[in-house]
């Protein structure tokens, strides 16, 4: 485990500058406070016109849940930012997928599309030798949809961790619920 207080910013993805319309990158910075609270700062900066924006999110243990059902139904749901505790279980029941976050080697703060892409990646080996497998077809299909930023097939992802699961930022009301 890395003991340092501040972690390198993570690039979460891109967005459109509200002022000039150019593409801007969104970064996430994480800090741990002495009270063992984590603070996440989301920043966006436009290189073209200088537009800057940031929002601060506090992750307290009190707002975490042990089980969250994430409903990916609209493109903006892919951008949901999630905190996941250690050894979280990640399930996609409709596709019979059950993995653990340690298996996927993902960090504790991640976007919904990244979770899906990590799962797809972890099953790629299985799928290259099994192209006729229905699940593989669905996964490849899902990967295409994500790369296009579109959601044609709704998918439900269940996240469970005794260490806590927390939605840091959601772009649509009702895109997750406790389970």
- Residues of this chain that interact with Zn ion (CB under 5 A) are 17, 19-20, 22, 46, 48-49, 51
User: CB of 43: closest distance to Zn ion in angstroms?
Assistant: 14
User: CB of 179: closest distance to Zn ion in angstroms?
Assistant: 40
Closest alpha carbon to 72 in 175, 178, 177: 175
User: CB of 46: closest distance to Zn ion in angstroms?
Assistant: 3
Nearer to Zn ion, 11 or 49 (CB): 49
Nearer to Zn ion, 46 or 104 (CB): 46
For 62, counting Cβ atoms within 10 Å of its Cβ (0-12 exposed, 13-18 middle, 19+ buried), the class is exposed
Nearer to Zn ion, 49 or 126 (CB): 49
Nearer to Zn ion, 19 or 148 (CB): 19
Nearer to Zn ion, 48 or 150 (CB): 48
Closest alpha carbon to 168 in 79, 83, 90: 83
User: CB of 50: closest distance to Zn ion in angstroms?
Assistant: 7
Rounded to 5 degrees, φ, ψ at 40 are -115, 135
User: CB of 9: closest distance to Zn ion in angstroms?
Assistant: 19
44: left (phi over 0), alpha (psi -120 to 50) or beta: beta
Taking 3-state DSSP, the helix, strand and coil percentages for the chain, each rounded to the nearest 5, stand at: 25, 45, 30
What is the rounded end-to-end Cα distance, in angstroms, of the chain? 30
Asked whether the beta carbons of 69 and 170 are under 8 A apart, the reply is: no
């Amino acid at each position: 485990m890395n003991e340092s207080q501040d972690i390198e910013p993570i690039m979460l993805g891109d967005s459109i500058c509200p002022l000039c319309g150019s593409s801007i990158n969104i970064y996430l910075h994480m800090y741990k406070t002495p009270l063992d609270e984590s603070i996440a700062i989301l920043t966006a900066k436009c290189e073209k016109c200088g537009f800057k924006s940031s929002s601060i999110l506090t992750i307290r243990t009190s707002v975490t849940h042990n089980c969250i059902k994430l409903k990916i139904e609209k493109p903006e749901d892919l951008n949901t930012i999630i905190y996941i505790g250690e050894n979280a279980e990640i399930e996609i029941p409709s596709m019979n997928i059950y993995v653990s976050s340690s298996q996927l080697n993902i960090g504790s703060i991640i976007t919904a599309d990244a979770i899906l892409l990590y799962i797809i990646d972890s099953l790629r080996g299985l799928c290259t030798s099994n192209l006729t497998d229905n699940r593989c077809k669905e996964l490849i299909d899902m990967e295409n949809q994500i790369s296009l930023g579109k959601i044609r097939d709704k998918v439900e992802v269940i996240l469970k961790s005794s260490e806590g699961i927390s939605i840091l930022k959601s772009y649509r009301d009702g895109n997750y619920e406790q389970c």
